[in-house]
Amino acid sequence: MATHFLSDTAVLTGRTMRHVTRSLDTIVTTAITPIAMMLLFVYVFGGAIDTGTVSYVNYLLPGILLITIASGISYTAFRLFGDIQGGIFERFQSMPIARSGVLWAHVLTSLVATVISLVVVVGVALLMGFRSGAGVPAWLAVTGILLLFTLSLTWTAVIPGITAKTVDGASAFAYPLIFLPFISSAFVPTDTMPGPVRAFAENQPVTSIVNTIRGLLTQQPVGDGIWTALAWCAGILVVAHVVATIVYRRRIS
């Protein structure tokens, strides 16, 4: 059964990956907005923001990486919506394939495309002066957190991809996620914010994830923050996966 699932998922992932390679502009578009934000904040606003001994591009990059992920998942919902509207799912139902493999194919395709976008963004950050003395374990930890965060948001994107009535509705859900880092520690320290805003910023998932990645890259102690970040990512992933599976089964039943 597991072999059947893996082989079906591999074939279906190859299909969705071909769609991405035929429209590489989606990957470019995913990276352009975060890069533009990074250029704007570093070269226009960065000089007015006090981040202590950490250069602003080093301070900013973790939040930009999360925005890159949020930008990319809108295409997951878009591709999934397109398959549903095109009748592909009904065709798959008549074939002897693992039903969950269809969703996993879209999720894995999104994961690969997002990783490429993240590499592009980090490359631009290096050209802008980003430097890190972090060792291999720290970089592996950062990579693991980013992948887990990508998976959690991608499974979240599956839900509107299945339930949306229009293509705009399928992809528009990502906009609030893109702006969430602005009310966090991604761009400025939270202690500069007014009381209610600061309370929200310090207790939402983006802040713990950003602080953990920033601490790992700047070789600062992360303490229990890493467990908070992992708990947020894992919690969102579990809930999103369960809800996505339920709505998918209802849709194809």
Taking residues 54-65, report their average pLDDT. Answer: 91
Taking residues 82-102, report their average pLDDT. Answer: 63
Output the CA–CA distances (angstroms, integers) from residue 71 to 4, 95, 179, 205, 214, in the order listed.
Answer: 33, 33, 10, 17, 20
136 vs 53: which has the higher pLDDT: 136
* Burial class for 246, CB neighbours closer than 10 Å (0-12, 13-18, 19+): exposed
242 vs 14: which has the higher pLDDT: 242
What pTM was estimated for this model as a whole? 0.87
The contacts of residue 82 (CB under 8 Å, 6+ apart) are 167
102 vs 157: which has the higher pLDDT: 157
Output the CA–CA distances (angstroms, integers) from residue 89 to 13, 20, 50, 158, 249, in the order listed.
Answer: 14, 19, 52, 14, 11
Measure CA 193 to chain center: 25
Confidence band, pLDDT 50/70/90 cuts, at residue 1: very low
Q: What is the pLDDT of residue 82?
A: 74
Residue type, 238: V
For the cut 70, the answer to whether the pLDDT of residue 94 exceeds it is no
pLDDT digits (tens, 9 = 90+) for 182-211: 899 999 888 888 889 999 999 999 999 999
* Burial class for 49, CB neighbours closer than 10 Å (0-12, 13-18, 19+): middle
Ramachandran angles phi, psi of 94, nearest 5°: -85, 0
Taking residues 44-68, report their average pLDDT. Answer: 86
Annotated domain spans of the chain: 2-252
Distance CA 155, CA 134 (A): 30
Tell me the three state secondary structure of residue 130: coil
Q: What is the pLDDT of residue 200?
A: 93
pLDDT digits (tens, 9 = 90+) for 98-132: 566 677 777 888 888 888 889 999 999 999 999 98
44 vs 97: which has the higher pLDDT: 44
Distance CA 9, CA 99 (A): 9
Q: What is the pLDDT of residue 89?
A: 60
